[in-house]
Amino acid sequence: MRSRLPAFESVQGGELALLTLTQLRRLDETLPHLLKSLYQAGVAVVAVSAASLDALSAEARDFADQMHLPLILLPLHAQLEEIEREVITFVVSFRGEIERKATEIASQLMQLSYQGAGIQGVSEYLATNRGKWVVIQDADQHVRFQAAPAGMAPLLLSSPLTDDQLRLQGLARVVEPIPGSRHEIAGYLSLVGSESDFDYLERIILSQATPIIAIEFAHERDRTEVESRYQYEAFTDVIQGHYQQPEEMMARARLLGYDLTTPQAVVLFEISPNEHDFSSNNAYAQWSRRIREELLREWSACWVQNDARRVIALIPLAPFDSQPETEREHETALYSRLERVVSRISSQKSNGSTRAIYSCGMGRISKNLQGIPLSFREAQQALEIGRRLFGEGNLHSFARLGIYRLLFHLNGHSELDDFYYETLGPLLNHDSTYVDTLEGFFRSNCNLSEMARTMHFHRNSLLYRLNRIESLLGRSLEDPELRLALQIALKIHHLKKH
C-alpha cells in the first residue's frame, strides 16, 4: 500500500495486498471499508501489519469471514517491502518449476503423437500421469473419448457433460477448449477428479496439451475423409460397374468389410425435387443419418452411402436357388422389410425440424456382382416411374411396376399415342365417364355383380353402359384380343393423367 492516493496501483484480481494500519490512518481510511473495496476488485489475500488481532476491528474480521477472504495479521514492525520481494521470488520460482514440469509432460505427449499413439494413447498417458480422468468432447460438448487413471474404472458420464452433473458425483474438472481451423473451437479437453485435487500445474498442462489434441483431431479428420472418399469411390464403382475384374472389385469391397458374393438389391431413398431448401441446413444430415441407422438396424451388413439429396444402399440377402417362385418370395420378403423401415422413419420424431418428403425405389435382386448396376438402374426407374404415377412418399419396387416399365419409356412416342387413341378414342370423344366404367369392369375381373357392388351402380345401369361401350367400339367385350388392348390402353390413360 502506498502512502498517497491511489492507495494501490492497478488491481487486476488475484493479488496479495500488504498494508499497515498507520498507512490507513494517514489516508483517512478504515480497514472494513478498504476490505470491501479490495474484495470487489478481486484481491485474493489481505495482510495487515498491526499490534494485535483486536487492532484489526471486529467489523473487518467479520467481513473477511463472511466473504471467505483470507486476512493475515503481520507483526507490527514487519518489513512489507521485504515480504513483497520474498513473495515475488516464490511466485516466479514456483511458476518456473510448474512450467518446466508442464513442458516435460507436453514434450512426452508430443512424442506419443509423433509415434502415432493417436487420441487414445495421448489421453491415456495424461490420465496416468495426473491420476485423473481425461475427457474429450466435441464442439457440441458431447463426450467422444474418456481415459481413466491406472486402476480406476471409467466414469459414467452424461452427454453433454456439465459441471453440475460432475458435482453430483463429488467431482470437478478443469477444462480447456481445443482449437480448430479458422479460429473455431474443435472440442474440449478436461481433467476430472476430486474437487480438492487440482493445482496450478493442471491448467498449464491443459493449455499445452490442447494443441496436441487439436493435431490428433486433424489427423483423425483427414483419415476419416480419406476413408470416406475410398468408400464412396468403391461403392460408386460397384453400382455403376466401373471395374475391370470382378474378383478385384470384390476384394476391394472385402477390405472395407462388405461381402458381395451373396445376392444384393439396390435401394434408393431420394428427397422430393420440390424440397428446394431442404439441404440448406442440417435437416438433410438428420434425415440421411436416420435412414442409415434404420437400414443398418434391419440389415447390419448392408453398404450405405450418402449422395446429394439421396441415400443409396446395397442390401445383402441369403443365397437362394434360381427358381422364379423362390426369387419372388425373396423379393416379397425384402419389400415387406423395407416397408417396415420406411414406416419407422416416418414415425420418428424430427427434433423440431421439418420432415422431409421423399420416396424410395427398389431394384430387383441381383444374383452376382455384375448384376448390381442393373439393380441400381431399376431402382432409379422405379423411383422415377413410381413418383410419376403414384406420387411422393411411397415405396416403389421395379418388380411390381409390371407393364408400366414398358409404357413409361414409350410415353410420347407416336406409335403409343396412335394405339391409345385408336383403342379408347371412341369412348373419349363420346363420354369420358365410359373410361371409368371400363376400368371398374376390369378391376372387378369382368364380374358384373361385383362391379355393381363396388361402384354402387344398379346392375341394369351398368349393363346398359357396357352395351353402349361395345356399340361405340364396334366390338364385343368378350373378345380376348380387345380386352387385352383395352387394358393396355387404360394403363396408358393412367400414365397420361400423371
CB 53 within 8 A of CB 73: yes
Tens digit of each residue's pLDDT (9 = 90 or more) over 54-90: 999 999 999 999 999 999 999 998 999 999 999 988 8
Q: Which residues make Cβ contacts (< 8 Å) with residue 321, sequence separation at least 6?
A: none
Sign of the C-alpha dihedral computed for residues 208, 210, 214 and 217 taken in this order: positive
Tens digit of each residue's pLDDT (9 = 90 or more) over 144-196: 889 999 889 998 887 778 888 888 888 999 999 998 877 788 899 999 998 77
Check pLDDT > 80 for residue 251.
yes
| pLDDT at position 259 | 94
Where are the alpha helices (H) located in 371-447, listed in sequence order?
372-390, 404-410, 414-430, 433-443
Confidence at 348, pLDDT banded by 50, 70, 90? low
Among 274-278, 290-294, 488-492, the least confident range: 274-278
| pLDDT at position 479 | 84
Q: How far is CA 95 from the centre of its chain?
A: 43
Sign of the C-alpha dihedral computed for residues 297, 301, 307 and 311 taken in this order: negative
For the stretch 91-113, what's the b/e string if a residue is b when 16 or more beta carbons lie within 10 angstroms of its beta carbon?
Answer: eeeeeeebeeebeebbeebbebb
Distance, CA of 312 to CA of 244 (rounded, Å): 23
Report the relative pairing of strands 395-397 and 264-271 from DSSP bridges. unpaired
Of the candidates 326, 327, 308, 320, the one whose C-alpha atom is nearest the C-alpha of residue 375 is 327
More confident residue, 219 or 136: 136
Q: What share of the chain is helix, strand, coil (3-state, %, to 5)?
A: 55, 15, 30
Distance, CA of 435 to CA of 490 (rounded, Å): 8
Among 23-27, 318-322, 404-408, the least confident range: 404-408
More confident residue, 283 or 221: 221
> Stretch 249-274: mean pLDDT, rounded?
91
| pLDDT at position 4 | 79
Tens digit of each residue's pLDDT (9 = 90 or more) over 7-54: 888 888 899 999 999 888 888 889 999 999 999 999 999 999 999 999
Quick one: fold of 408-497? Answer: Arc Repressor Mutant, subunit A (1.10.10)
Which amino acid, 438? L
| Superfamily of structural domain 115-221 | GAF domain (3.30.450.40)
Distance, CA of 8 to CA of 100 (rounded, Å): 32
Tens digit of each residue's pLDDT (9 = 90 or more) over 354-387: 567 889 999 999 999 999 999 999 999 899 888 8
Q: How far apart, in Å, are the Cα atoms of 53 and each of 23, 72, 314?
A: 17, 9, 83
Distance, CA of 398 to CA of 492 (rounded, Å): 18
CB 431 within 8 A of CB 414: no
Is there a common fold for 257-401 and 408-497?
Answer: no
Q: What is the DSSP string of 158-204?
A: -SS--HHHHHHTTEEEEEEEEE-GGG-EEEEEEEEEETT---HHHHH
Tens digit of each residue's pLDDT (9 = 90 or more) over 94-128: 888 888 888 899 899 999 988 888 888 999 999 99
CATH, domain range 257-401: 3.30.70.270
CB 271 within 8 A of CB 284: yes
Check pLDDT > 60 for residue 349.
no
Size of the chain in residues: 498
Tens digit of each residue's pLDDT (9 = 90 or more) over 421-463: 888 888 888 777 888 888 888 888 888 888 888 877 888 888 8
Burial class (CB in 10 A: 0-12, 13-18, 19+), 201: middle
- Grid cell, residue 378, equals 431399376
When the pLDDT of each residue in the chain is averaged and rounded to a whole number, the result is 87
CB 353 within 8 A of CB 283: yes
> Stretch 394-412: mean pLDDT, rounded?
80
> Dmax of the chain from CA atoms?
130
> Stretch 339-363: mean pLDDT, rounded?
77
Of the candidates 44, 41, 91, 46, the one whose C-alpha atom is nearest the C-alpha of residue 73 is 46
CB 215 within 8 A of CB 112: no
Check pLDDT > 80 for residue 282.
no
Tens digit of each residue's pLDDT (9 = 90 or more) over 302-315: 999 988 789 999 99
Q: Which residues make Cβ contacts (< 8 Å) with residue 241, sequence separation at least 6?
A: 370, 372, 373
- Grid cell, residue 271, equals 428427397
CB 301 within 8 A of CB 256: no
Burial class (CB in 10 A: 0-12, 13-18, 19+), 395: buried
CB 176 within 8 A of CB 207: yes
Check pLDDT > 60 for residue 498.
no
| pLDDT at position 371 | 94
| pLDDT at position 360 | 93
- Grid cell, residue 451, equals 362391379
| All structural domains of the chain with their residue ranges | 16-78, 115-221, 257-401, 408-497
- Grid cell, residue 295, equals 437400414
3-state secondary structure 450-491: HHHHHHCCCHHHHHHHHHHHHHHHCCCCCCHHHHHHHHHHHH
| pLDDT at position 273 | 81
CB count within 10 Å of CB 400 equals: 15
The C-alpha cell 361401350 sits at 469
Check pLDDT > 90 for residue 487.
no
Check pLDDT > 90 for residue 392.
no
CB 448 within 8 A of CB 463: yes
